[in-house]
Amino acid sequence: MRDPNDLLKGLTEEQKAAVLDDSESLAVVAAAGAGKTRVLTRRYLRHVLWEGISPERLLSITFTRKAAAEMKQRIVGELREWGRDDYAQAAETGPIQTIDSFCEGLLRENALEAGLDPTFGVLEGAPADHVLESSIREAIGAAVDDPIASGLIDEIAGESGYRTRHRRLEAAAGDLIGHWRRLGLSRGEMEELHQDPSHLLKTWHRAVHKDLPDDIAKGVDPESESFFADLKAIWKRGRPAWLAARDPAIELKAAEHACGLGALACEAWRLFENRMREIQQFDFPALETMALGLIERSAHVRERVGAQFAAVLVDEAQDLNPRQHRLLDSLPVTRKLLVGDPQQSIFGWRQADARLFLERAQRGHLRLSENWRSGAEILRFVDGLFGELWAEGYQAMLPPEAERRPRRPSAIETWRLRARDSTVVAARIRELVDEGLAPGDISVLVRKASSGVRLLDDLQREGVPACLTGGTDRYYARLEVRDLANALRALADPTDDFALLASLRGPFARLSMDSLAMLAQRRPMGDALETFEPPIEDDRGRLDAFRRWFLPLRAQADRLPAWEVLARILAESGVLEAFATRPSGRRAIANARKLLLLATELPEEGAYAFARRIREIQELGHREGDAPSQEQSDLVTIMTIHKAKGLEFEAVVVTDLGEAPGANKEVAVDPETGLFTASFAKTRSTFEQVLRHRANEREDREELRLAYVAMTRAKTRLCLVMPDSSKDRAPAKRISPILKRLRASGLEWQEKAQE
């Protein structure tokens, strides 16, 4: 048995203080690379080894499943090193989990009181999107009984454009429901709020009025229909850009549109909840809402939770949304530790609100201030840059006394490009490898996954082994997935001529256009396939090979489950060999196998129904990552900045720093109240301008935090890819402070300009 005092070995004074603090509720504000995982782990070990608390009574909350698995592995390993295999085994099955998993477990343990089937399922991914989308469509179809909602639909129906009225409404309603549910708002309150346009307009006025300077607020009446016009008239100096003071008729029309969309969204929300109840499958927002309601209304459940857990430890607390904060506050556990860094709050699109963590920290907190990950040159640069940008609000990572301590050497360089060209970035990364950096030590952090896709192809052309971690979120749009879906449809529905022609033209047969054109003249095409003779000699052997596996399988496909049909396609058609010849062959093969795995999760679904599901998912734009295609330890890693959070790399290349975030064009939502406006009219209302102005400010702040997170992943080398401001007129305004800081910096950094 090791000496118990060894628990504090290797910790800094700040880290020791966080491990030893006995406050009932403690917030630890941890800088990037300050060792928060070490602190959480040692705090956990303190509870177990010093206080004798069993791991089953320690609730540890992490932000992602991956983080939960890593923390569990670390804790179990350390307990085994301490010779406590009994505790290690308990920790292996103990509550080290995401907040969603905790809610799921709480509801299963108290299913009777929650009014649930204990075997309820979790609805996530494509199936969840499908149920929500069908609920929205049903709500739109029933809107004829609501004059305001049906009026909105009629107005949009008369507009031209690439998106149909239903697609515009479906996307806007889906976004709105997502915002409201993540904020923990009540459907009933939102429904009542959006019943009357005139009442809603006054609510908008009051929301703006409460944020006005006192001297301005006294001069206007928020109950007046001319509120915005009156406000503009008296606000002579320093008037904000959003104050346009549109015609009152325009403001009222915007409120009518909001009431119409609000009514549709609330009805779809109700249908969605009812459908989840019917099938006893619930998505994670529903699980969180039900768990919170259960704890708040049931004294018995609160008593049980209080007896079950002795302490709660929460990681990445800056990324909690209001409902999750409320859930944690409702837990009757006296000892709570929340660790987070507001400077790394980058999940605003999930309604994460770092201010709530800061409010908690104001009631008592400790700091982990010193970054132990990055070299001194990188830290001086990042501290200098963000110290200027955030002024007094910035918490430095390199304390003055730390300058005397030896640190690993590090370097910063910028790659200034005359145009946004991923081929040039790939060439620069090739140079890093040629200099001696191992590909596995290099990570490229992109703002958008689409940038990573382009760069991956360019790196492969440069001969640099690389992978895109976490996929592209475009799995269902992949060519190989579309090829297999076409084959499924052609097999299950002999009348689907398009699917048959696509399969014959694709990797299954590769017939020429001349042969396909001649086949297309024969109807029914599915029957003609059996005796058709192609006019092109090379096509005849290909078509014979296609018919040998296709025709026997077609005779049975309508009676087989999708997974079995897919399995036979992959085994008999030779399509995997065809996929292997593509530029990204490994990924294509892995994605084909992933589709088979997804089909096995729906064992009763037929081939045609599964193919139709894929098509609907493609139309929804559901986000699903590619399957991993090979080991990544010896590859350059490309990932989004969001996915890189919590990780570290020897060398980091940061791209897309000049990219502006993609805003939703239809709906602007206030993250505190849930008030929103919808951009269905040609002229935006003043309140919409207010919301979009506030949203732009939030996005600007979050973009800087994204840059901070990206730069603090680097240990020894940081490469920043930036447009040359003298050549490129498009870079976002956020990039100029970074360029200005670089030019004024006394740091040693290397500027590589595009030739």
Cβ atoms of residues 678 and 265 within 8 Å = no
184 Cβ neighbours under 8 A, 6+ residues apart = 288, 289, 292, 321, 322, 323, 326
> For residue 511, how many C-alpha atoms fall within 13 Å in the half-sphere facing its CB?
30
Percentages (nearest 5) of helix, strand, coil residues in the chain: 60, 10, 30
Q: For residue 576, what are the contacts with CB-CB under 8 A and spacing of at least 6?
A: 570, 589, 592
Beta strands in 301-380 (DSSP E): 311-314, 335-340, 365-368
Task: Give the C-alpha separation, 251 to 205, whole Å.
Answer: 11
Q: How far apart are CA 357 and CA 725, in angstroms?
A: 37
Tokens 């579309």 correspond to what residue? 482
**569 and 553 Cβ atoms separated by less than 8 Å:** yes
Calpha distance 247→473 (Å, rounded):
42
CB 100 within 8 A of CB 284: yes
d(CA 679, CA 664): 10
Binding-site residues: 30-37
In 10 A of CB 276, how many CB atoms?
Answer: 21
Q: Which residues contact 509 (CB under 8 A, 6 or more apart)?
A: 503, 539, 542, 543, 545, 546
What are the binding residues for ATP?
Answer: 30-37
Half-sphere exposure for 144 (CA within 13 Å, toward CB): 3
Give Cβ neighbours of residue 416 (< 8 Å, ≥ 6 apart).
Answer: 722, 723, 724, 751, 752, 753, 754
Residue pair 549/508 in contact by the 8 Å Cβ criterion? no
